[in-house]
Amino acid sequence: MRYIGNKTRLLGFITAAIDRLGIGSGTAHDAFAGTSAVGRALKGRGWRVASSDLMTYSYVFQRAYVVAQREPSIRELRAGDADLRAALRSSRFRARAAARDDSPLGLVAEYLEKWLEPHAGFFTSHFAGERMYFTRENAQRIDAIRTTLHRWRSAGLIGDDAYYLLLAALIEGADRVANTAGVYAAYIKSWQPNALRPLRLEPIHPMKGAAGSSAHCADALEVARGLGPVDLLYVDPPYNSRQYPGYYHVPELIARGWSDKVPALRGKTGLLPADGQRSAWCSARRVRQALGELLEASGARHVLISYNSEGLLAESALKETVREASVDGRVTCFRKTYRRYRADSDRVGRRYRADGLRELLVYARLRS
């Protein structure tokens, strides 16, 4: 998923810093999980990960990429859904699935993508047509798939792992055909080539790792208080005043679903009502206090903070806050220059300060 602050390109930098610091694998709190890139990388290196984020779509990714351990069975789904069972008996279906991915999740993804009848629902009504986020055809596919996943789960035909793996695949598939420049604060007023392609579901296969990883749709501070002692606190907070609920309300709606209660949307872009997902880390006035409170609340032995050169908190203030919380007054800083994420191009009224950003990794030992 296209995402501001995604650390996929910086995973080597982050894991190399952990190795240089000599921090052995144990339990890590990934406090601002986002798309779970870092949590997944830590899991792959033998860590038990407790991930957290305020956004529901992040919780979906946490469940798919961090918590799920093994390929789920679809036995009950095959027995309980006659339409799926009929599709699985079709030689044409089996041939298409075999050419693509004939794993249990691959079969279900093929059914949802190609065999399920599209229908107009909430997403078609609100995010196709006047709000040009999706073509009508893709919005109908999103409606059909999201409704079917909800029905399957409510009926007990799929377990939590299968549900979140397929829902994460839907969020990522919808993002690939979204008519945006990468964030959902606005849609583009003409159809982009990617938006005209049909929605595709790419199955997500679980990664086996240390048992006991967990996901939390909650404030990082409250999660840190509840976790108790951990080996590593990894902090990758928002860097500027952009509030994520306004930039990613569309994937948030896919993650939440709307079968039980249709949300009241507002404005030209269909924003969600403000409901507590706004972050103190996006406020220049509150960010330093938020960092200090998190470091105090965490039971971590080590802290590693990702930040960058355009963050609301100056590097000097960041390091001083970490130094005050450290057990020995020592702070280590790693730096790497990389190409910035661009949601759009330079234009009148919008000028990026530079193409290059400097990523900071700030480390300290919090407890013996």
Mean pLDDT along residues 22-49:
97
Kindly list the strands in the beta sheet with 356-365, ordered across the sheet, starting from the edge strand earlier in the chain: 214-217, 48-53, 27-30, 229-235, 299-308, 356-365, 332-339
Mean pLDDT of the region 197-221 = 95
> Cα–Cα distance between 6 and 333 in angstroms, integer?
20
Nearest to 143 by CA among 260, 2, 259: 259
Backbone angles phi, psi at 88, to 5 degrees: -65, -25
User: Can you list the domains of the chain with their CATH numbers?
Assistant: 8-68+210-243+279-365 (3.40.50.150), 75-196 (no CATH)
- What predicted TM-score, i.e. pTM, was given to this entire model? 0.93
CA distance 214 to 228: 14
Q: How far apart are CA 257 and CA 218, in angstroms?
A: 18
Query: Where is average pLDDT lowest: 11-25, 162-176, 228-242, 317-331?
Result: 228-242
Q: What average pLDDT does range 325-333 have in this prediction?
A: 97
For the chain, give me the number of helices (H) and strands (E)?
15, 7
Mean pLDDT on 223-247:
92
Average pLDDT over residues 221-227: 97
CA distance 190 to 305: 40
The closest of 64, 185, 82, 192 to 134, measured between CA atoms, is 192
Alpha-carbon distances of 362 from 2, 43, 51, 162, 302, rounded to whole Å: 25, 21, 19, 37, 11
Q: Which of residues 202 and 102 earns the better pLDDT score? A: 202
Rounded-to-integer distance, Cα 210 and Cα 44, Å = 9
Average pLDDT score, the chain? 91
- pLDDT at res. 97: 79
- Per-residue pLDDT at 124 exceeds 90: yes
Q: How many residues does the chain have?
A: 368
The confidence score (pLDDT) of residue 356 equals: 67
57-97 pLDDT per residue, tens: 999 999 999 999 999 999 999 999 999 999 999 988 888 87
Which backbone phi and psi does 95 adopt, to 5 degrees?
-65, -45
Q: How far apart are CA 312 and CA 286, in angstroms?
A: 10
Q: Is 298 exposed, middle or buried (CB count within 10 Å of its CB: 0-12, 13-18, 19+)?
A: buried
Q: How far apart are CA 157 and CA 222, in angstroms?
A: 33
Report pLDDT digits (tens) over 178-201: 999 989 999 999 999 999 999 999
Token digits of residue 164: 């979140």
How high is the pLDDT of residue 101? 86
What is residue 340's predicted lDDT score, i.e. its pLDDT?
A: 59
pLDDT tier for residue 169 given thresholds of 50, 70 and 90: very high
- Count CB-CB contacts under 10 A for residue 210: 16
